[in-house]
């Protein structure tokens, strides 16, 4: 079906409030905003003299951004919808979703249609388009495992490009779109390859415990059982952003080399750690923060959640600067006690 003029029109909304578009609930504004429901609307960006030279920021669910001030540019609110099974072969289904689709709803949809694989990533906030940027991961699974490709629009030109996994250069909570491609592209759609031979990922103790509490043996666990267990775990540990502003895990779990880990373990023998295939070791950032005494503590209206030390929260009236001040204090203490650098996950604007 050909694209209509209405589909490609771009309506600019001046002095736009962003409180509802960031999960911390910061009361900031954008000089302009535009709701993007069709990829063709991106093409108008470089042709509109009012905004041609302004900074651009693509927002999905706003679950991975810290606004430290008003945004003096154009916020593009990704509302591109659509979920479909593209095709299948003997080994897998290829499933595509629009960049503006809610991630958790998409995961649930794949299960409802008999295409499991993403259940360990249930209830991660945000949109499908944001998932590759961060290479989201949880409970032993990273998004890149089942990633096939994506379509992105270059904001400066309106040109559409396809990215395979190699071009995306995925790393731990990292990708091309967080580095060289930052602020250059908007992700329109993402395609996943979900194997027909399903294998449960039950390596994390929390998941195994939750299944056991439900009377489900690992050998008997179905995809929906894993999905329900992950949802229950996340709801028990993490605050609902609608009730308490937050951006989920604020820090990456640090990955250190074997020599540094041996030195750390010498004076912290109980350190929570996960060996990596390359010989390095991933540490539990929440454990480090907790041992530094930050769990449940606050600096003004910004606080560390009392059930999960990885989560920083807005108790009401906090600014982005308040949250960053708290984050810096935590980073300083962890560095002084353990010699480990903590890196924030969210984008600070």
List, by residue number, the catalytic residues: 173, 249, 345
How crowded is residue 272: how many other Cβ atoms within 10 Å of its Cβ? 15
CB 326 within 8 A of CB 303: yes
Indicate the helix (H) or strand (E) that contains 107: helix 103-112
Alpha-carbon distance of 276 to 262, in angstroms, equals 14
CB 324 within 8 A of CB 299: no
Indicate the helix (H) or strand (E) that contains 320: helix 320-338
- What are the start-end ranges of the H helices in 179-269? 205-213, 223-237, 258-267
The residues, ordered by sequence, that sit 6+ positions from 184 with a Cβ below 8 Å of its Cβ are 154, 155, 156
Helix (H, G, I), strand (E, B) or coil at 324: helix
- Nearest-CA neighbor of 153 among 274, 43, 8? 43
- Nearest-CA neighbor of 152 among 168, 173, 171, 169? 168
For residue 257 the two structure tokens come to 């080399």
- Nearest-CA neighbor of 346 among 141, 67, 34? 67
Alpha-carbon distance of 185 to 63, in angstroms, equals 18
Alpha-carbon distance of 103 to 122, in angstroms, equals 8
- Per DSSP, what are the bridge partners of residue 29? 17
């Amino acid at each position: 079906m050909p694209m209509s003029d209405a589909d490609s029109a771009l309506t600019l909304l001046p002095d736009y409030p962003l409180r509802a578009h960031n999960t911390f609930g910061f009361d900031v504004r954008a000089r302009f905003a535009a709701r993007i429901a069709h990829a063709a609307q991106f093409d108008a960006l470089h042709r509109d003299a009012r905004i041609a030279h302004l900074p651009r920021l693509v927002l999905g669910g706003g679950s991975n951004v810290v606004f430290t001030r008003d945004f003096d540019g154009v916020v593009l609110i990704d509302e591109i919808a659509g979920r479909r099974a593209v095709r299948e072969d003997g080994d897998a289904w290829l499933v595509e979703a629009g960049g503006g689709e809610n991630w958790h709803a998409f995961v649930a949809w794949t299960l409802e249609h008999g295409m499991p694989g993403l259940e360990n990533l249930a209830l991660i906030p945000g949109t499908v388009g944001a998932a590759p940027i961060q290479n989201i991961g949880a409970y032993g699974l990273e998004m890149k495992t089942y990633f096939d490709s994506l379509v992105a629009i270059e904001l400066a030109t309106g040109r559409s490009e396809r990215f395979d996994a190699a071009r995306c250069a995925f790393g731990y909570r990292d990708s091309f779109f967080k580095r060289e491609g930052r602020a250059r592209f908007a992700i329109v759609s993402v395609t996943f390859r979900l194997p027909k031979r399903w294998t449960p990922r039950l390596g994390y103790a929390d998941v195994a415990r939750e299944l056991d509490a439900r009377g489900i043996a690992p050998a008997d666990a179905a995809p929906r059982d894993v999905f329900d267990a992950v949802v229950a775990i996340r709801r028990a540990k993490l605050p609902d952003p609608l009730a308490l502003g937050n951006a989920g895990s604020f820090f990456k779990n640090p990955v250190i080399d074997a020599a540094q880990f041996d030195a750390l373990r010498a004076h912290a023998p109980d350190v929570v750690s996960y060996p990596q295939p390359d010989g390095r070791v991933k540490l539990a950032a929440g454990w480090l923060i907790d041992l530094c005494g930050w769990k449940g503590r606050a600096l003004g209206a910004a606080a560390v959640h009392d059930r999960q030390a990885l989560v920083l929260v807005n108790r009401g009236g906090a600014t982005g600067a308040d949250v960053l001040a708290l984050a810096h204090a935590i980073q300083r203490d962890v560095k002084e006690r353990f010699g480990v650098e903590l890196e924030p996950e969210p984008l600070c604007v």
